[in-house]
Chains A and B, each alone.
Chain A
Amino acid sequence: MEVTNDKGMPMPSELKRLVHFASLEKVLNMARAHSIWPLGFGLACCAIEALMGTNGPRYDLSRFGYEVMRPTPRQADVMVVAGTITTKSAPFVLRLWEQMAEPKWCIAVGSCAISGGPFVDSYFVVPGARQIIPVDVYVPGCPPRPDAIIDGFLKLRAKILDPKVVEL
């Protein structure tokens, strides 16, 4: 089932800059890569692992400085889509994504967020976050272990530091 979306997403949001210095951008990317603040936003089971488990004492995402869970999209850098997106929740996931301030990234955690996962056949499930928002890193699993999620974060870090890693 396609998500009701009038503007025809997925569509990479176009970044504009007033001034652009490539070297400054490099420095800033370095800062960005080490300070990815996730939007404290969990949809389903995966959220327990992705948002709580990784922040828990054992896996401690804070070591990388990524633990600053922001409750509002304005301050968040990465949207961790952890869980099933349903037809009902898709509009607000999209809205949250759109309300996030640039630059922003998205990690899809778990089968559900990648493709609808176990519920892909259901009448009420959106088959994956990529149907509505551009995803940067996919972390398969159901739910993935917190280690795997940290790995996803590190992959995102690599991508921010050097956007070319994706093109291999």
Chain B
Amino acid sequence: METSIYSVLAFYVLAAVILGSAILVVSMRNIVHSVLFLAICFIAMAGLFLILDAAYLAVIQVLVYAGAVCIMIIFGVMLIQRTDMKQSNLFNRQTFMAGGVVALTLAVSGFFAGTTAWADLAANTPVPEDSLGQIGQLLLSKYVIPFEVAALLLLVALVGAIVLAKEVKANVDD
């Protein structure tokens, strides 16, 4: 178990950054700022993954989420937003209802999280070195079907997105 004071400290700091930036993501009025806080949230999460001995995931968290997904969202924003960036990310009318639903979810999940005896499940063995190699091994043997499916998924997403987002050529002159 992580008992060193530093890792505990790191956990709390990172958790605070994650939650803080997540709240800012939701509450920012300017959607561009939201995206930026999302990136910060992702990066902090990568830090969390490091504590969890998942270095590879931490790095791809930065690479894919902070480096790529955020950029794509930004592009999306730039394609869509019009003049007033400052008011681009407002709450809708259902805020209070949403608050209720969320409170309920939180309560339920909190209850289960708190009452489950996680410690009993714990294996208490350290994560082996060379996790990356192991992942590679597993991906291409045990999880080969999901692996290929992932490729297909990406293909479908690519094709679908292109089809959806492409400007229709026939209507160029309207």
The reply, when asked whether chain A contacts chain B directly with Cβ atoms under 8 A, is no
- B residues near A (Cβ < 8 Å) are none
- A residues near B (Cβ < 8 Å) are none
